[in-house]
């Protein structure tokens, strides 16, 4: 899922300080599960902002809502009435949700309450790690199901760098060396021969390097905008 974390209250406050009526909109999908922008966090953000703005002598009207998914029009459209009554929207969804609101409500300013950070999962309760970079051409089959692009801090394809020690990365002793994980797993699987091959430079054209990415599926495509 998409992992995000809340921006500092003062940063959010600076974005919305000039508005009187603000709707804080949460999202019930990824950011609810990663405890950054669901219904409960909307409450925390709204309450914190009310207090912070009151200290500045302001009495804004901050209302709260949370929809199932901010990345699908049918849920976003349901906000229409509530949004018509406010001056600005503060979205606690990922960047996709923020942009969906901006596109659907062209006359309302929309601001992000979160920093959208990565695709990953909770390793422990309260600890999330990045495991996929969305590079557009998955090579996990070769690396024993552990991604060197996302989990080696340099994204190396042909083996570890010299900065690996005690199974940890040179960037931080908290961070596992992705290549040690790959090597260990392939050794267990008796598949080390899979990484003996010298890999050529990766084709990054499936990554961000051809501009905004899109996928068109003829079998499910309709001209009509959903």
Partner 1 sequence: MAEFEPKLIAFCCINCPSSSVTVCESMGMSIPTNVEVVRVPCTGRVDILHLLKAIESGADGVYVAGCSDGNCQFTDGNVKANRRIERVKKLLDEIGVGGQRVEMYRMSAAMGPRFAEVAREMTERVRGLGPSPLRR
Partner 2 sequence: MSRPFKEVLTSGEFVVTSEIGPPKGTNIDKMLHHIELLKDKVHGMNVTDNQSSVMRLSSLAVCHIIKDHGGEPILQMTCRDRNRMALQSDLLSAYVLGVRNVLCLTGDHISLGDHKGAKQVFDLDSVQLIAAAKNLEQGQDLGGNKLDGSVEFCVGATATPEADNMDSQLLKFRKKIKTGAEFFQTQAVYDMSMLKSFMEHTQQSNTKILAGILVLVSAGMAKYLNANVAGVTVPQELIDEIAGAEKGKALQKGMEIAARQIKQIKDENICPGVHIMAIGKEEIVPEILEMAGI
Residue 10 partner contact from partner 1, partner 2, none using kind-dependent CB cut-offs of 5 to 8 Å: partner 1
Tell me which residues in 64-123 interact with partner 2 (CB under 8 A): none
Residue 199 partner contact from partner 2, partner 1, none using kind-dependent CB cut-offs of 5 to 8 Å: partner 2
- In 3D, which of 26, 39, 35 has the Cα closest to residue 125? 35
Residue 120 partner contact from partner 2, partner 1, none using kind-dependent CB cut-offs of 5 to 8 Å: none
Out of 56, 196, 218, 223, name the contact with partner 2 by CB under 8 A: 196
Tell me which residues in 153-192 interact with partner 2 (CB under 8 A): 153-167, 169-171, 177, 179-180, 183, 187, 192
Q: How far apart are CA 70 and CA 63, in angstroms?
A: 17
Tokens representing residue 151 in the block = 């989990």
Minimum gap (Å) between residue 174 Cβ and partner 1: 19
Half-sphere exposure of 26 (CA within 13 A, CB side): 25
Minimum gap (Å) between residue 95 Cβ and partner 2: 18
Q: What are the Cα distances from residue 132, in Å, to 2, 37, 137, 143?
A: 10, 21, 11, 13
Residue 22 partner contact from partner 1, partner 2, none using kind-dependent CB cut-offs of 5 to 8 Å: none
Q: How far apart are CA 212 and CA 108, in angstroms?
A: 24
CB atoms within 10 A of CB 4: 27
Looking at the Cβ atoms of 122 and 167, the one nearer to partner 2 is: 167
Half-sphere exposure of 1 (CA within 13 A, CB side): 19
- Sites of contact with partner 2 (CB under 8 A): 153-167, 169-171, 177, 179-180, 183, 187, 192, 195-196, 198-202, 204
């Amino acid at each position: 899922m998409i992992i995000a974390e809340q921006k500092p209250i003062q940063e959010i406050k600076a974005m919305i300080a000039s508005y009187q009526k603000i709707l804080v909109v949460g999202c019930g999908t990824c950011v609810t599960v990663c405890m950054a922008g669901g219904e409960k966090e909307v409450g925390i953000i709204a309450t914190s902002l009310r207090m912070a703005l009151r200290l500045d002598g302001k009495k804004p009207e901050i209302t709260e809502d949370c929809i199932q998914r901010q990345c699908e029009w049918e849920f976003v459209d349901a906000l229409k009435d509530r949004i018509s009554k406010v001056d600005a929207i503060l979205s606690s969804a990922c960047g996709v949700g923020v942009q969906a609101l901006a596109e659907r409500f062209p006359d309302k300013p929309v601001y992000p309450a979160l920093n959208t950070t990565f695709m990953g999962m909770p390793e422990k309760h309260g600890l999330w790690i990045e495991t996929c970079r969305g590079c557009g051409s998955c090579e996990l089959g070769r690396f024993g199901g552990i991604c060197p692009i996302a989990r080696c801090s340099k994204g190396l394809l042909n083996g570890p760098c010299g900065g690996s020690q005690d199974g940890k990365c040179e960037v931080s002793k908290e961070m596992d060396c992705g290549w040690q994980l790959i090597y260990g797993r392939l050794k267990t699987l008796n598949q080390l021969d899979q990484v003996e091959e010298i890999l050529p430079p990766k084709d990054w054209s499936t990554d961000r390097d051809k501009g905004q990415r899109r996928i068109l599926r003829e079998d499910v495509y309709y001209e009509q905008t959903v």
